[in-house]
């Protein structure tokens, strides 16, 4: 089973930025899609963004479009989520997930087979 590890969470003021990293225990993320999800207290886990390694295609939730960007490193085993202009509504535990190609929408948790443990992001003054 592939192990994913997120890092980069923390406390930031409204309007600030954070960059999350997702590293894989596999040799590479090639042939995979990587998704970012978040779960706020007492809310369901929701889709944030996805990144197709081989094509570079990205999909974003409307709530983060224009503020968040997902990208990869050149070595092939890390994906990043750059979060700008953060709002208290962005406070949540953020998870990365990976999965092979499937017919399931990248916005669905069912499209991913491996998950990280999550990293806390808190936006507060």
Closest CA to 18 of 6, 29, 28: 6
Contact 97, 115 (CB under 8 A): yes
Choice among 17-21, 45-49, 75-79 with the minimum mean pLDDT: 75-79
Report the candidate in 77, 76, 63 with the shortest Cα–Cα distance to residue 107.
63
Would the pLDDT of 49 be above 80?
A: yes
pLDDT of residue 118: 96
| Residue 21 pLDDT grade (very low, low, confident, very high; cuts 50, 70, 90) | very high
Q: Which of 23-27, 59-63, 113-117 has the highest mean pLDDT?
A: 59-63
The mean pLDDT value for 10-34 works out to 89
Per-residue model confidence (pLDDT) at position 13:
98
């Amino acid at each position: 089973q592939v192990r994913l590890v997120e890092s980069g969470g923390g406390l930031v003021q409204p309007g600030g930025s954070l960059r999350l990293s997702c590293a894989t225990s596999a040799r590479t993320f090639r042939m995979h899609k990587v998704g970012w999800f978040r779960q706020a207290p007492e809310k369901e886990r929701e889709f944030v963004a996805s990144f197709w390694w081989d094509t570079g295609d990205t999909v974003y939730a409307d709530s983060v479009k224009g503020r968040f960007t997902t990208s990869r490193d050149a070595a092939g085993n890390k994906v990043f989520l750059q979060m700008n202009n953060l709002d208290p509504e962005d406070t949540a535990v953020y998870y990365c997930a990976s999965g092979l190609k499937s017919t399931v929408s990248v916005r669905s948790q069912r499209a991913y087979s491996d998950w990280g443990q999550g990293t806390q992001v808190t936006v507060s003054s």
